[in-house]
Structure 1
Amino acid sequence: MMKMAIMGAGAIANKMAATITKMEKVEAYAIAARDKERAEIFAGQYGFARAYGSYEEMLEDPQVDLVYIATPHSHHYKCVKMCLEAGKNVLCEKSFTVNAEQARELFSVAHEKKLFLTEAIWTRYMPSRKMINDIINSGVIGEVTSLSANLGYELSQVKRIWDPKLAGGALLDVGVYLVNFARMVFGERDAEIHTSAVFKNGVDMIDNIDMIFPDGKTASMQCNVHGVLNRAGAIFGTKGYIEITNINNPEKITVFNDRYQEIASYFPPEQITGYEYEVEACVRALENGALECEEMPHEETVRVMEIMDGIRKEWGYEIPVQE
């Protein structure tokens, strides 16, 4: 049984806790927050065995097998580094770090210490990823030529989203899913990228991202943290197209022919929350002695971070790095 700890006790930590308490092969073992009382309340709510009032104290616990980082993006680098220096394996929430330089350094440390480290971007681990790829590979929609996707929520009440010091903005929070979606469909290859952004309170609020891949395939995408988008994805081919209901956690995958007639529909399996797939991947990797997950290799995490670095550079926007 893998004993899992969570670092940070915010909303996303609650979702992970609600997930692992219902999983086999995983024990919801420890929660660490900067406030001991908050950690104790969290532990009581989900049945964690240990509650710590500091990250450092939790990392001294020899029984912790895997730490899930649920802190803001701005703190991922520091938190992951703390874990690695304490000899702990790590599952770090997306976006992995603030920039590619931080990601490269962390993977280097993990490799040196022979510790497991991966990015928790759930769409990379979900069964829906294979389902979509299988439909494309079947040839039912012909040669794929383009895709479109959007992802957006009204997040005015989420303070970290609107704080540059906490690496807020649309790109790191929701745009990362779009970049990953395009690369999962069209392959992990470099693309020509054109973007634009609307800023508010010092962060990017709405981003438009266009990617042109070497073989002429294109991706047109938008993300938003100040408006509710329909989260739709579509993959277009020479014989038909695929529509995906909610690219962030696919609920239905529908196939249409070239006469716009629905010819098939698929539904991903029932899930706990969707987070269980990344945790299951961690369990498999650790059981096999791997230092990364095949679903999201270190190299791909770094490349996605490099792409987002390039996008911000095009805007002339640099996220303050926390020491």
Structure 2
Amino acid sequence: MAPHTVRWGILATGWIASTFVRDLLLDPAARNAADVSHKVLAVASSSSKDKATKFISDLNIPSPCAAYSSYEELVADPNIDVVYVATPHSHHYQNVMLALNAGKNVLCEKAFTVNAAQTKILIETAQKKNLFLMEAVWTRYFPISVQIRESIKAGEIGEVLRTVADTSFSDDVEARWGTEHRMVNPDLAGGALLDLGIYSLTWVFQTLYHTLPKEQRKPPTVLSQITPYHLTGADEATTILLNFPTSTPTNSAHPHQSHGVAMTNIRVAGDPDEEGTTGANIRIQGTLGEIQVFGNPFRPVRYRVIPKKGSGKGEVRDVVCEFPAGGHGMYWEADEVARCLRDGKLESEGMSWDESIAIMEVMDEVRRQGGLSYPEKIESVEYPLQL
């Protein structure tokens, strides 16, 4: 049977868009994805057609691939099946609404939106229009993530009661980011939380929430602390303590709660020498052992399962998870989109709408507790709105 081919339109031409497209252009057979394939048929820059044309040329995107000078032109192209939104998160709500209103399926970069209210409206719009919509939390679709979730559900480390995840980088913030860069600019919803902290939350949620049967998934309570960046007010460090009302696998005789600790910082590093000397950035702790995940939480490369002494769960085992064909790893989420479109699904089980809302609500509460707000325009649910 011929693979199901998905035709992509790329909305924006920054680094993340180029990384995504490079992965799309790799042979799916290298990652044993013979059932799907990808074509990039259109690229749009909001500033100029020349920028889109250069993007196509630099990445050697095969013809035909249209270059557009506006996002409106892109979403109106009848030749594309799905739009990949790669703008800053401050603009996601407006850009996704544009695509949905044009009848296009959407894969939108994380964080989905600036707040949960915007996410809910996007999902309601997709439902009404019978369109596929997914938050591009690429890490969810890595084999390493899938394997770890399956291990937890199978009870390999017993009842999982705590996950600690740290996504932090040691930068000279003033010299590198200044005040205008998207990482620290409130006008672009900048700060550590939405850009990096979402990866720590991803590991907490996919190990303590997603591993439960749907009917048992309940949102956590939230305690948090934010340190603002003195030049802009965006958060430079955020620590979140999450208390989930149940655990995985659930012990019905003596039900327990589980804790997640999600940390992010742009002044201190979780992995200072970038060699893993400090150990795992993610620790998933159960009653019968622990899973440690090494490497950046957004793109980890290996994990270790450490059984508790006397548990009868075997020996310590190390698992390395490669990125086939030299890819960055974004092709797995693209393959998921292709399969969902092929199968007529509107959302992905791996990153469901309900879970995207739950995580956005956590980040809303963290910002409320820390007194962090963004300009009214980018928090708004009004559409259309010129940003």
When normalised by structure 1's length, the TM-score is 0.94
Q: Is the 8 A contact 2:140 2:146 kept in 1?
A: no
Q: CA deviation at 1:257?
A: 2.9
Q: CA deviation at 1:180?
A: 2.1
Q: CA deviation at 1:144?
A: 2.1
Hey, what does 1:268 align to over in structure 2? 321
Hey, what does 1:309 align to over in structure 2? 364
CA RMSD of aligned residues (A): 1.9
Q: Is the 8 A contact 2:144 2:302 kept in 1?
A: no
| Amino acid aligned to 1:222 | M
1:1-323 aligned within 5 A: 1-24=5-28, 25-34=37-46, 35-48=48-61, 49-154=65-170, 156=173, 157=176, 159-187=181-209, 188-200=217-229, 201-214=232-245, 215-230=256-271, 232-246=281-295, 247-259=297-309, 263-271=316-324, 272-320=327-375, 321-322=377-378, 323=385
Find the structure with the greater CA-based Rg. 2
Q: CA deviation at 1:136?
A: 2.4
SS in 1 for 2:267: coil
Q: CA deviation at 1:23?
A: 4.2
1:167-194 deviation digits (Å, cap 9, x = unpaired):
0011111111222211111124222211
Deviates more, 1:94-103 or 1:106-115: 106-115
Q: Is the 8 A contact 1:23 1:276 kept in 2?
A: no
1:57-100 deviation digits (Å, cap 9, x = unpaired):
12221101111000000000010011011111100000000011
1:292-317 deviation digits (Å, cap 9, x = unpaired):
11111111111111111111111122
Name the CA distance, whole Å, in 2 between partners of 1:213 and 1:57: 44
Name the CA distance, whole Å, in 2 between partners of 1:7 and 1:101: 23
> Which segments of 5 or more consecutive residues in structure 2 lack a partner in the other structure?
29-36, 210-216, 246-255, 272-279, 379-384
Q: Is the 8 A contact 2:167 2:281 kept in 1?
A: yes
SS in 2 for 1:227: coil
> Which segments of 5 or more consecutive residues in structure 1 lack a partner in the other structure?
none
SS in 2 for 1:160: coil
How many equivalent residue pairs? 323
Name the CA distance, whole Å, in 1 between partners of 2:113 and 2:27: 27
Q: CA deviation at 1:154?
A: 4.5
1:207-245 deviation digits (Å, cap 9, x = unpaired):
011112223221223101333322710111223211101
Name the CA distance, whole Å, in 1 between partners of 2:152 and 2:106: 33
1:21-60 deviation digits (Å, cap 9, x = unpaired):
1144101221110222211110101233221111111222
Q: CA deviation at 1:274?
A: 1.1
Name the CA distance, whole Å, in 1 between partners of 2:152 and 2:57: 46
Deviates more, 1:188-197 or 1:35-44: 188-197
Q: CA deviation at 1:288?
A: 0.7
| Amino acid aligned to 2:206 | M
